[in-house]
Amino acid sequence: MSKTLNLIKTNASNPKVWIVAGITVAGIIVVAETRRRRKKAMIIKREDFGAFMERFELIPFPQPPPPAAKLPLLGLTFAIKDIFDVKGHATGFGNPDWQRTHEVADKTAVVVTALLKNGAKCVGKTVMDELAFGITGENKHYGTPTNPNMPSNVPGGSSSGSAVAVAAELVDFALGTDTIGCVRVPASFCGILGFRPSHGAVSTIGVLPNSQSLDAIGWFARDPSILHRVGNVLLQLKAVEPRRGRHLVFADDLFQLSKVPKQKTVHVISKAVEKLSGYQLPKHVNFCQFIASNVPSLKGFFQHSTNLQNGISALQALSSAMVSLQRYEFKTNHEEWLKDVKPRLGPEVSRCVLAAINNTYENVKSLYKVRTEMRAATQSLLKDDGILVIPTIADPPLKLKKGSSTEFHDRACALLSVASMSGCCQVSVPLGEHDGCPISVSFVTYHGADKFLLDTVLDMYASLQEQVSMASNSAPLPDLNGNMDASELLKEKGNAAFKGKQWNKAVNYYTEAIKLNGTNATYYNNRAAAYLELGCFQQAEEDCNKAISLDKKNVKAYLRRGTARDSLLCYKEALEDFKHALVLEPQNKVANLAERRLRKLVS
């Protein structure tokens, strides 16, 4: 452009120069406009991030009239993987040849109907890996859904579209299935919550099988409370269960597989539970040694060579048993169709299918024996209050179209085999980023303890995210008092002033702590207590609002907000706060007395 201007200045009187300049400028404008329109067209085309293969609406059942309780999922939207039957629609199983050769469904899957009955609206079916094989999320027929956090990397699969729909905030939650990691992997790669329930805990009627001994219905959410609400519906859980203590069991040897530094996982979790009540000191275990000693049937699956790090051979044996079981059952389920139709398959899926179909399975009973022993072993390790902490997956998301290496697959399956082969429930929880990639950790507990695990996630999520935020700060806070950082020191000074009835001084200390760390619910809660003593009820209410937004199960915040609202003569709101406190702590005497008194006042 500068050369054109110089040419004009030099030959300003020559009309040909003006024509050339005009054509040049016009050309630049045309090229720029063409690029802009192409970019806009691409954005419009991928406005749903390629997550959906079919859009439709399944209207939820109507809300019953009062006095019936509000439907638990009212107002929420969800999407379903293309593996669930919907009446009047052909289930595609991620492959056009499957969809072409099968009739439309005459019934909707039980799990989808349950969600509709409880107030949620379904908005469509999502893309998946063909035949539910694969963990990358790529599909050569329908395109690969775009990972919202890392557009040039795979979203993870096989429930890729469902994970992307949630991560891109297109829906509130989504259904997937998990055989050997099909929910856990995309949840980790897309930076969201993913729950695999205990095997058999959720009905699979109306869901196409890959391997029925490993298949589980799972779901994704961004918000732990939505994850919990969906779980209550699908698992048909009781609303109230006696609160139990918890102890975390870190599988130290499995964290050796992860490329994420321990400080960003184990350290963050340890710090998060320090501030929570009901958690015992964490324990540490060599998980591979444990299963080698407690799952004797694994001996038949040990290999002389391994791509994994030393000491992980027992886990590789477990992974080998898992893959063999999946392939055996897939062959039993679908061999006839595969031979009759000869479907077009992507290269990765084709390799898995050929391996399944061409294999001979001589000792099938040993596969099921490993599964039975593995479930008993995890029950023995975790008892009724233990939660195993492991990395969700060892490696970051692969680049698109790169294909997964044997090493990537082996390292992934080693970690994923723990829950798949034991039938335990597992939740993948995001823990921020490392080197620009989303990272996560998984909590696993024994078969049947789904409510316990969902409650745990809800209980610790805010504290975990607070620790993630603190750990990701570019410069760590100065250590001014032993192991306490600056904000904790200020909180302690505030506590001392509070005990000395120096309310204004306490408020000042807590305010300074909040300036340093505005995501700690305790700081707002403590300042609210000081404001109550000073008679600053509106300020106390605002601080409690903030504390509750950071920690939904903070009993003290509900009690203090109830007291502030009571003092402001907002009796109905105060009554709700004390009721909420009683739900969290049924034996709380303060809440009990206040609730009775306010109930009389309101009536």
537, part of any domain: yes
Mean pLDDT of 521-533: 93
Assign residue 94 the CATH number of its domain: 3.90.1300.10
Tokens 């000042």 correspond to 508
Report whether pLDDT(137) > 60: yes
280 and 380 together in one domain = yes
411 and 287 together in one domain = yes
80's tokens: 């379903």
231 and 255 together in one domain = yes
Other C-beta atoms closer than 10 Å to the C-beta of 21 total 16
Mean pLDDT of 82-90: 98
Rounded to whole angstroms, how far apart are CA atoms 320 and 297? 12
Using one digit for the tens of pLDDT, what is the confidence trace for 399-434?
A: 998 777 788 999 999 999 999 999 999 999 999 998
Residue numbers of the domain that contains 224: 52-292+369-473
Using one digit for the tens of pLDDT, what is the confidence trace for 160-213?
A: 999 999 999 999 999 999 999 999 999 999 999 999 999 999 999 999 999 999
334, part of any domain: no
Cα–Cα distances (Å) from 122 to 119, 212, 377, in that order, read 10, 25, 39
User: Pairing mode, if any, of strands 173-178 and 77-81?
Assistant: parallel
User: Pairing mode, if any, of strands 173-178 and 193-196?
Assistant: unpaired
pLDDT band at 381 (very low <50, low <70, confident <90, very high): very high
461 and 496 together in one domain = no
Report whether pLDDT(479) > 50: no
Rounded to whole angstroms, how far apart are CA atoms 353 and 373? 28
398 and 527 together in one domain = no
**Which has the closest alpha carbon to 92: 132, 138, 48?**
132
479, part of any domain: no
Rounded to whole angstroms, how far apart are CA atoms 99 and 50? 19
**Residue 244 main-chain phi, psi, to 5 deg:** -110, 155
Assign residue 580 the CATH number of its domain: 1.25.40.10
Rounded to whole angstroms, how far apart are CA atoms 295 and 120? 42
Using one digit for the tens of pLDDT, what is the confidence trace for 552-576?
A: 999 999 999 999 888 878 888 999 9
240 and 382 together in one domain = yes
Mean pLDDT of 513-536: 91
538, part of any domain: yes
425 and 572 together in one domain = no
28, part of any domain: no
Other C-beta atoms closer than 10 Å to the C-beta of 277 total 10
Report whether pLDDT(481) > 60: no
139, part of any domain: yes
Residue 23 confidence (pLDDT)? 63
Mean pLDDT of 363-370: 95
pLDDT band at 239 (very low <50, low <70, confident <90, very high): low
**Which has the closest alpha carbon to 247: 82, 383, 74, 57?**
383
Residue 30 confidence (pLDDT)? 54
501, part of any domain: yes
Domain boundary among 452, 473, 494: 473
Number of independent structural domains in the chain: 2
Residue 42 confidence (pLDDT)? 41
pLDDT band at 307 (very low <50, low <70, confident <90, very high): very low
Four-CA torsion 286, 289, 294, 300, nearest 10 degrees: 140
* % of the chain surpassing 70 pLDDT: 88
Cβ(205)–Cβ(196) under 8 Å? no
Report whether pLDDT(451) > 70: yes
Residue 477 confidence (pLDDT)? 37
457, part of any domain: yes
